[in-house]
Amino acid sequence: MRSVCVVGLGLIGGSVLRAAAAAGAVTWGATASDEDAEAARRDGHDVLDLAAALERAVVQDALVVVAVPLPAVENVLRALPGGVRLTDVVSVKGPVADLVARLAPHARYVGGHPMAGTSRSGWDAGRADLFHDAAWVVTAEDGTDLDVLADVVGLALAAGAHVVPTTAAEHDAAVARISHLPHLLAAVLASVGADGGPLALALAAGSFGDGTRVAGSRPELVLAMCQGNRAALLGAVDDALGRLGAARGSLASTGGLAKTVEAGHAARLALENGPELTGTTIDLTSPDALEALRDLGSRGGRVVGLNGSTARVLTPRAHDRP
């Protein structure tokens, strides 16, 4: 594997560093948190200051992974040397791509986002197997450097994830519905439950605990990702409000909630069962490689292996495609 430099050693960045090291890569990191730096060094990892970490990345032609919250990305990008191989694990892609274009146009950038995490944060919350069997988004925009894309795909696969290629815009629209809206709904649900008083919280069991788990995340991290994806999240919130309004109207008029409950049940089963997948390959040297990757991701497919310039992929069978 190519050497890996991780900037930001919290839950996700710390797990990326651990996973890359476990896969055999030469790794080092940088963090603004003295606590995370000390803990990472105590666990045997090489942690430098930002300037030294990035200088070493240039010398070793390493892949730099930006793993800081969105509000801190700008400071990292301003420190980047020219021509570095760059990816990130930030939960929104459009704003990061815009920052890279404005502040580090010299970087060879391919966006990334592993869809894994917990409500805990910091170095001590991370682990090398955090990404096992998780989806890891890799952006495949027109003009993407395929050499760097292969580096990012290789890192994700080495971490035990499968890769879902897409564009920044499609990623942000999707995660607004399946990541950012759940955080917002969990916050509302937790507040509604707490307003029921001590008796309500004393009776709270599995459904309330499952539905509010991510409300235990650090508020500043939730705010960074949700407010950073404002436009897409507004559309998801409007959709949710429309469905809640319809459910309320039905409950008030007929007392029935069958349509809402049955639609949710069917959607959950679709998530649990998933489509039937079949194997094929994509030649990353072909002129239409990026288009083929984007098409794969839009249909719910994934990259599961990399052999030189050939990506092994799983794609939904024709009868399962939306």
What are the pLDDT digits (tens) for 217-231?
Answer: 999 989 999 999 999
pLDDT average, residue stretch 84-88: 98
For residue 84, count CB atoms less than 10 angstroms from its CB and return exposed for 0-12, middle for 13-18, buried for 19 or more. Answer: buried
Highest average pLDDT, of 149-158, 217-226, 310-319, comes from 149-158
Q: CA-based diameter of the chain, in Å?
A: 70
Helix (H) or strand (E) holding 137: strand 135-139
Rounded Cα–Cα distance for residues 270 and 288 (Å): 31
Note if the pTM is more than 0.85.
Answer: yes
pLDDT average, residue stretch 118-138: 94
Contact of 74 with 65, CB cutoff 8 Å: no
Instruction: Quote the pLDDT of residue 321.
Output: 47
Percent of the chain with pLDDT over 90: 94
- Sequence-distant (6+) residues with CB within 8 A of 292 are 282, 286
Contact of 250 with 256, CB cutoff 8 Å: yes
Rounded Cα–Cα distance for residues 106 and 233 (Å): 31
Instruction: Quote the pLDDT of residue 117.
Output: 83
Percent of the chain with pLDDT over 70: 99
Q: Is 320 a residue whose pLDDT tops 60?
A: no
Rounded Cα–Cα distance for residues 103 and 72 (Å): 13
Closest CA to 207 of 195, 217, 193: 193
Lowest-confidence pick of 49-63, 198-212, 305-319: 305-319
Q: Is 24 a residue whose pLDDT tops 80?
A: yes
CA distances from 158 to 73, 133, 304, 306 (A): 25, 11, 10, 10
Rounded Cα–Cα distance for residues 109 and 99 (Å): 11
Q: Is 322 a residue whose pLDDT tops 80?
A: no
Helix (H) or strand (E) holding 113: strand 112-114
- Sequence-distant (6+) residues with CB within 8 A of 80 are 54, 64, 86, 104, 106, 107
Instruction: Quote the pLDDT of residue 319.
Output: 53
Mean pLDDT of the chain: 95
pLDDT bracket for residue 82 (50, 70, 90): confident
pLDDT bracket for residue 133 (50, 70, 90): very high
Q: Is 121 a residue whose pLDDT tops 70?
A: yes
Closest CA to 18 of 167, 123, 102, 146: 123
pLDDT average, residue stretch 74-86: 95
Instruction: Quote the pLDDT of residue 58.
Output: 96
Instruction: Quote the pLDDT of residue 316.
Output: 93
pLDDT average, residue stretch 174-186: 96
Residue 296: both structure tokens together: 């794969």
Instruction: Quote the pLDDT of residue 119.
Output: 76
